[in-house]
Amino acid sequence: MHESKIQGSCLCGAITFEADAPFQKMIHCHCSRCRKSSGTGHATNLTVDPGQFRWLSGEAAIRQYDLPSAKRFSKWFCGHCGCPVPRLARGGAMMIIPAGALDTVPPITPTDHIFWASKTPWGCPDGGLPTHAGYPES
């Protein structure tokens, strides 16, 4: 049986959060911004409607960086440990939750690889998931 909510935290535990199901999607993003932001070959993110998301502690410790040259990209992180934390998408349509910050197993798994055209030569294989050069059309 899958849990109806997920919980997560930053590395030092100062920031904690939870989100209720249903979850919109979980994807692997290979764009250069996500790679730099996560320090890995891709970022895996889960999305949820903002009304289903709650900060449980540490909201005052969140720091935010909005990339000036980007319409959509920003990074929220713990001001104590630097760990990526969930962020409200610029425009407010969804909360983007870094899967690595989860403390519970989500009831969904990744469905797609986006920005596959930006993938590094040393990145992971597709694992049989659909790949998209940029954002999916739907």
Q: What is the pLDDT of residues 59-104, one digit of tens each?
A: 999 999 988 888 778 899 999 999 999 999 878 889 999 999 999 9
Q: What is the fold of 5-24+42-108?
A: 2.170.150
Element (H or E) spanning 73, and its range? none
Cβ atoms of residues 10 and 85 within 8 Å: yes
CA-angle at 9, arms to 24 and 98, nearest 5°: 40
pLDDT for the residue numbered 138: 62
Q: What is the pTM of this model?
A: 0.92
Place of tokens 């960086």: 65
Domain ranges of the chain: 5-24+42-108
